[in-house]
């Protein structure tokens, strides 16, 4: 990362840093993986409710992701107010309770309510995860976030596949229930690894001011919201956020109906399409890890621009190729797009003021995921009108636009790069 604030430097030992990374990444493995496992066994779930329709099933998935996105902003505020550890632990425990709630869903309407509860609980995890790891690894935030998101992608590849195998014999409620111990163990891991030295007790980023007897009650929520709003509307941050929204929109749009496209437009069988979908996430996991490591040694804005540019070609290949091998290659390399997430997260968080980082980042994530949730609707509407190929080509065009936005960032300009080099040499 180009710039790390001295106030974000943590005093944790390397062993404690490793424990924090392992526990937070483990929690993300279950949080991210289960959000894809649930839609993965949705046909079996809807079949258990005789009156459920495909439209209602689609509403359930929308509720899952919408509730996840909406909770990002309050999660950021809570992280600033009571500390990341408490919010992370609460997210994991509430997610376990959400899975348990599926046992008490005799009607599909109650199933949708339980789905929203689970989505909201997992939505609490993202903002404190990002700010905690950024402060814990001030010099290697890209790498730490890359490892964490990569493990989540592995979960998204593995857990749906495991659920698909188990659901036939155990039923969907018991299958989902098997993940409850994983969430609880992850919550214990986070609680122990981070420890009380973290910003619990409402200390947050205002720790030094409190210790000096200044503003013991902390700033008002209104003033925090104003500061956060200013932080995300300066040119550099706004460009980075807009580019991230475009990238997330494209990812949601292509992955939501990718297996349908492969089956209906390219002639793949459902099992083969599912296999390629899983491989996409494995490629994404590898790319996230590599992108995080590479961004540690290169300028993040240029890494983001490169990932966005490369991500255009798999979408073009998906439409242009007729060869099953080339279509398969295009499908799995869509996962390269996922490499932008850890670098983008660390880049944006580093631009935010310390005292409102959680609040501002939570607001940014709400915008990212609520807007991107419409990506699937965008593709679905065009596909219903027999414009499936055109929808994917438009996503490719949007992705190219994101690459241009990243190139427009001041930190990606040659003049700024030269200035930085001269400054480092002085």
**Distance, CA of 3 to chain centre:** 23
Which secondary-structure segment (H or E) carries 201?
none
Q: Are residues 191 and 249 in the same domain?
A: no
Q: Which residue has the tokens 């937070």?
A: 24
Q: Are residues 255 and 172 in the same domain?
A: no
Residues in the chain: 426
Domain final position from 148, 175, 197: 197
208 belongs to a structural domain: no
210 belongs to a structural domain: no
* φ/ψ of residue 124, rounded to 5: -75, -15
Name the H helices within 50-140.
54-70, 72-82, 84-101, 108-123, 126-136
Classify burial at 155, counting beta carbons within 10 Å of its beta carbon; exposed 0-12, middle 13-18, buried 19 or more: buried
253 belongs to a structural domain: yes
Determine the Cα–Cα distance for residues 23 and 19; give it in Å rounded to an integer: 6
* Whole-Å CA distances, 168 to 143, 160, 165, 403: 39, 13, 7, 44
Write out the two tokens for 195. Answer: 């420890």
Classify burial at 139, counting beta carbons within 10 Å of its beta carbon; exposed 0-12, middle 13-18, buried 19 or more: exposed
What is the number of other CB atoms lying within 10 angstroms of the CB of residue 127? 35
Going residue by residue through the chain (426 aa), what tens digit of pLDDT does each one get? Answer: 444 444 444 456 777 888 889 999 999 999 999 988 887 777 788 788 888 776 677 677 778 888 888 898 888 888 888 888 999 999 999 999 999 999 888 988 899 999 999 999 999 998 898 888 888 887 777 788 888 988 988 898 888 888 878 888 888 899 999 999 999 999 999 999 887 555 444 444 444 333 333 444 555 556 556 666 666 667 788 888 899 999 999 998 888 778 778 888 898 876 787 788 888 888 988 898 888 777 655 567 888 999 999 999 999 999 999 999 999 999 999 999 999 988 888 888 888 777 666 777 777 888 888 888 788 778 878 887 888 899 999 999 999 999 999 998 876 544 444 344 333 333
Q: By C-alpha distance, which of 130, 20, 117 is closest to 79? A: 130
Domain final position from 197, 219, 249: 197
Determine the Cα–Cα distance for residues 61 and 208; give it in Å rounded to an integer: 43
What is the number of other CB atoms lying within 10 angstroms of the CB of residue 370? 17
- CATH code of residue 178: 1.20.1250.20
Eight-state DSSP code of residue 4: -
Eight-state DSSP code of residue 409: S
Q: Are residues 23 and 89 in the same domain?
A: yes
Report CA torsion sign: 386, 389, 395, 398.
Answer: negative
Q: Are residues 271 and 182 in the same domain?
A: no
Q: Are residues 250 and 187 in the same domain?
A: no
272 belongs to a structural domain: yes
Q: Are residues 177 and 237 in the same domain?
A: no
Do residues 141 and 133 make contact, with C-beta atoms less than 8 angstroms apart?
A: yes
Write out the two tokens for 162. Answer: 């495991």
211 belongs to a structural domain: no
> What pLDDT is recorded for position 177?
93
Q: Are residues 160 and 254 in the same domain?
A: no
Q: Are residues 48 and 146 in the same domain?
A: yes
What is the number of other CB atoms lying within 10 angstroms of the CB of residue 320? 13
Q: By C-alpha distance, which of 365, 346, 359, 292 is closest to 84? A: 359
Determine the Cα–Cα distance for residues 332 and 314; give it in Å rounded to an integer: 8
Q: Which residue has the tokens 């609680």?
A: 191
Task: Calculate ∠ Cα 154-62-69, nearest 5°.
Answer: 70
Determine the Cα–Cα distance for residues 283 and 280; give it in Å rounded to an integer: 5
84 belongs to a structural domain: yes
Q: Are residues 191 and 234 in the same domain?
A: no
Q: Are residues 272 and 159 in the same domain?
A: no
Do residues 162 and 17 make contact, with C-beta atoms less than 8 angstroms apart?
A: no
Task: Provide CB contacts within 8 A for 256, sequence distance 6+.
Answer: 375, 376, 379, 380
User: For residue 279, what are the domain limits?
Assistant: 228-426
**Distance, CA of 151 to chain centre:** 12
**Distance, CA of 143 to chain centre:** 15
Q: Are residues 397 and 349 in the same domain?
A: yes
Task: Provide CB contacts within 8 A for 61, sequence distance 6+.
Answer: 39, 42
> What pLDDT is recorded for position 348?
86
Q: Are residues 184 and 242 in the same domain?
A: no
> What pLDDT is recorded for position 219?
58
Write out the two tokens for 302. Answer: 């240029």
Task: Provide CB contacts within 8 A for 158, sequence distance 6+.
Answer: 33
Eight-state DSSP code of residue 352: S
> What pLDDT is recorded for position 416?
43
202 belongs to a structural domain: no
4 belongs to a structural domain: no
Domain count within the chain: 2
Q: Which residue has the tokens 């609707």?
A: 377
């Amino acid at each position: 990362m180009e710039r790390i604030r001295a106030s974000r430097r943590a005093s944790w030992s390397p062993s404690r840093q490793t424990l924090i990374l392992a526990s937070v990444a483990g929690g993300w493995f279950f949080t991210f993986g289960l959000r894809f496992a649930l839609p993965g066994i949705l046909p079996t779930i809807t079949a258990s409710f005789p009156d459920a329709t495909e439209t209602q099933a689609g509403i359930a998935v929308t509720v899952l992701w919408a509730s996840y996105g909406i909770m990002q902003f309050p999660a950021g505020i809570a992280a600033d107010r009571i500390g990341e550890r408490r919010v992370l632990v609460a997210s994991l425990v509430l997610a376990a309770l959400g899975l348990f709630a599926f046992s008490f869903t005799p009607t599909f309407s109650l199933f949708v309510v339980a789905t929203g509860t689970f989505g909201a609980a997992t939505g609490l995890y993202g903002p404190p995860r990002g700010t905690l790891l950024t402060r814990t690894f001030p010099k290697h935030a890209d790498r730490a976030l890359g490892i964490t998101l990569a493990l989540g992608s592995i979960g998204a590849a593995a857990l749906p596949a495991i659920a698909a195998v188990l659901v036939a014999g155990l039923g969907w409620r018991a299958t989902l229930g098997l993940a409850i111990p994983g969430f609880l163990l992850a919550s214990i891991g986070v609680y122990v690894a981070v420890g009380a030295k973290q910003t619990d007790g409402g200390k947050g980023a205002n720790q030094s001011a409190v210790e000096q007897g200044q503003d013991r009650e902390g700033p008002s929520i209104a003033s925090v919201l104003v500061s956060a709003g200013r932080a995300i509307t300066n040119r550099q941050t706004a460009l980075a956020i807009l580019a991230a929204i475009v990238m997330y929109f494209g990812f949601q749009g292509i992955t939501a109906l990718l297996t349908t496209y492969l089956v209906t437009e390219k002639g793949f069988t459902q099992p083969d399409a599912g296999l390629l979908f899983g491989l996409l996430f494995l490629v994404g996991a590898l790319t996230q890890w590599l992108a995080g490591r590479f961004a540690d040694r290169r300028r993040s804005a240029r890494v983001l621009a490169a990932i966005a540019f490369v991500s255009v070609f798999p979408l073009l290949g998906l439409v242009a190729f007729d060869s099953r091998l080339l279509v398969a290659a295009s499908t799995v390399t869509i996962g390269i797009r996922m490499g932008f997430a850890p670098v983008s997260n660390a880049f944006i968080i580093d631009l935010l003021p310390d005292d409102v980082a959680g609040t501002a980042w939570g607001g940014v994530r709400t915008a990212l995921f609520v807007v991107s949730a419409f990506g699937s609707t965008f593709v679905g509407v065009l596909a219903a009108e027999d414009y499936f190929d055109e929808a994917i080509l438009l996503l490719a065009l949007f992705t190219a636009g994101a690459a241009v936005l990243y190139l427009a960032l001041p930190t990606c300009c040659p003049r700024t790069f030269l200035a930085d080099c001269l400054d480092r040499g002085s």
